[in-house]
Structure 1
Amino acid sequence: MVTLMLMNSGEFQIYLKSAVESYAKEKVLSNNWNEEESISKAREEYEKLLPKGETTENNFLYSILNEGQTIGAVWLEQKNNENGFIRDIRILEKYQGLGYGKEAMNQIEMMGKKLGLRKIGLHVFGHNKVARGLYEKLGYQTTNVMMIKEI
């Protein structure tokens, strides 16, 4: 069974390094940033959004555990009293495709309810069809679509 546990500072530092690299890669794949600037821009965004790291107010960074083993991470931001936003969710590659993402999403929703949230939003890159499919199956609705074409 999947559970969520708040990250300590050591776990946060490991997460942060991986998250910055992954976010930079996604922004390059989405044609938002060029590769040369991607890491520094990603680092800047994370520093702006999490100025106090894992203790930044209204941000909850969890390790995703299965039977005590860390299998991923999730970052839930409480935007206001009723709305939350999943800033990041990641399941380690060797655990993907085993249903842990769905279980983690259910745990996130339970955490959101405990915080008093009524809605949780998220962003998914358009090229991430697997994640989009999961979120749609869980009842998340598309609210915006941005498109781009190179000319």
Structure 2
Amino acid sequence: MVTLRLMNSSEFQEYFNLATENYAKEKVIAGNWNEEESIIKAKTEYEKLLPKGKDTEKNYLYIISQKNQPIGIVWLEKKSNENGFIRDVRVFEKYQGLGYGKEAMKQIEMVGKELGLKKIGLHVFGHNRIARGLYEKLGYQTTNVMMIKDI
């Protein structure tokens, strides 16, 4: 069973650096940004979303733990009284494929209910088939699909 606990300041800084780097790579893979601008754009987006870091109002940044060992992160934003959005969820590579992502998603849904949320949304890059499969198994429904073709 995994547990969630709020990040401390040093964990947040570590997360911010890793997350912006990963987000930049994902945006390049998806064809949204070129590599040269990607890190600057990623940091700019994260700074807008989290102007006060881990203490940004209506944002909940958690460490996912298994037996007190950090195995990932999850970030939930309360967008309105009834709607939340999972901004990021990540199980560290060596812990992937063991069911921890599914458990963490169930835990963050319980947090959402405690916050009074009725719905939680998320974004997943189209090329991330493993994550898409997990979210579908958990009952998340596709609401939008964007497509692109090189010509």
Match of 1:48 in 2: 48
Aligned Cα RMSD in Å? 0.3
Residue 18 of structure 1 is matched in structure 2 by 18
Amino acid at match of 1:62: Y
Amino acid at match of 1:49: L
Partner in structure 1 of residue 125 of structure 2: 125
- What are the ranges of 5 or more consecutive residues in structure 1 without an aligned counterpart? none
Residue 137 (structure 2) pairs with residue 137 (structure 1): yes
Q: Which digits, 9 at most, give the CA deviation of each residue in 1:93-136, with x for residues without a partner? A: 00000000000000000000000000000000000000000000
Point out where structure 2 has 5 or more consecutive residues left out of the alignment.
none
1:34 matched to which residue of 2? 34
Q: 2:4, 2:117 → 1: CA distance?
A: 17
CA distance in 1, matches of 2:130, 2:82: 28
SS in 2 for 1:90: strand
1:71 aligned to 2:68? no
Q: Whole-Å Cα distance in 1 between the matches of residues 66 and 115 of structure 2? A: 23
Alpha-carbon deviation of 1:45? 0.2
Opposite residue 86 of structure 1, the aligned amino acid is I
Matches within 5 A, 1:57-96: 57-96=57-96
Amino acid at match of 2:29: L
Structure 2 match to 1:111: 111
Aligned-partner Cα distance in 2 for 1:115–1:66: 23
Shift of 1:37: 0.4
Aligned-pair CA distance for 1:17: 0.5
Identity of aligned residues (%): 75
Alpha-carbon distance between aligned partners in 1 of 2:57 and 2:80, rounded to the nearest angstrom: 12
TM-score normalized by the length of structure 2:
0.99
The one-character-per-residue Cα deviations of 1:50-104 (angstroms, maximum 9, x if unpaired) are: 0000000000000000010000001100000000000000000000000000000
| CA distance in structure 2 between the aligned counterparts of 1:100 and 1:118, rounded to whole angstroms | 24
